[in-house]
Amino acid sequence: MDQDSLLKSAANGNRRDLSRLLTYLEQGMKLNFPESNPSMKSSVTGITGPPGVGKSSLIGRIISYWNSRNQNVAVLAIDPSSPRSGGALLGDRVRMDSADSGELVYVRSLSTGGHPGGMSSSLISMIELLSYCGWENIVIETVGSGQSEIKIVAFADKIILVDGPDRGDIIQAEKAGIIELADIIVINKSDLPGATKAAESIRSSLSFADGKTSPDVVLVSAQMNEGIDEMMDLVENCDSPDWRERIKIQERLISLWDSRLLSSPNLNRVINELQTGSISLDDALDDLAR
């Protein structure tokens, strides 16, 4: 089946053909969307935070929230890949209670594929495809909080930073800068000791921001299904600051450059030459940029 036929089939609800197209995009293929049928504008939400805080469980609750309002949702769950083998477990959907809840839900696991920040520029095309196929809400789950996690801003309209009762990880998020880009900060596992104190500590830290609008901090428990409606009301009604658009464009350019670098047919040769010391790093970059 050719590209146009696959695209038409996917837009008509064929999930197998949608999955095929997403695989092709992940491999670097470009799609041409018909001008007569422009893509629907979807809401794209990024979920980030350190491992183990319950991001996948929280996404399960978000899926249920939208489904209860008869809205569909597609999830792109990114798993870390091995730097040696390139393989990934791709197991996030196991922890999403609503991942297999019918026609209103589509979950796709993705490998980081060795891309810096764990996100390939192909995500832009994937989002465009899902939007074209009628998915109203798109969620991107990142691999975990760290210095590279600001890359989520290149793809998401709104960003939720998730943490648990232990405030140590959120301090790292502050250092990374992701806390400044978040629209909502969620303290998950609010049923555990220390959750309220963690939220208060974050609000106190944010109060010292120099004239910047601070993100809302909300307590939820994905396991107990508590605080989800309040969180979603904040997500749906918050407005991202204008200054973030420039950062979004910058991160998209960097992501595109990273992808082109990693897909260069000369990459292995250049790495071998660097390993032997026959060229410098500047020479290597000039070679790859040609």
> What residue ranges in the chain does DSSP mark as E strands?
43-48, 73-79, 105-111, 137-141, 158-163, 184-187, 216-219
DSSP class of residue 93 equals: G
Token pair belonging to 233: 């009301």
201 contacts 167 by C-beta, under 8 angstroms: yes
The string of pLDDT tens digits covering residues 122-144 is 888 899 999 999 999 999 998 76
The string of pLDDT tens digits covering residues 138-172 is 999 987 655 446 778 888 999 999 988 875 555 55
Tell me what pLDDT residue 238 has. 87
Confidence band for 23, pLDDT divided at 50, 70 and 90? very high
108 contacts 45 by C-beta, under 8 angstroms: no
Helical H runs in 73-177? 122-132, 168-176
Say whether pTM exceeds 0.85.
no
Average per-residue pLDDT for the chain: 82
104 contacts 243 by C-beta, under 8 angstroms: no
Average pLDDT over residues 13-25: 94
Confidence band for 67, pLDDT divided at 50, 70 and 90? very high
Confidence band for 87, pLDDT divided at 50, 70 and 90? very low
Q: Report the alpha-carbon distance of residue 26 to residue 123 in Å, rounded.
A: 8
- Residue 92 reports pLDDT greater than 70: no
Torsion of CA 189, 194, 197, 203, to 10 degrees: -40
47 burial class (0-12, 13-18, 19+ CB within 10 angstroms)?
buried
Confidence band for 177, pLDDT divided at 50, 70 and 90? low
CB atoms within 10 A of CB 19: 13
Question: What percent of the chain stands above pLDDT 70?
Answer: 79
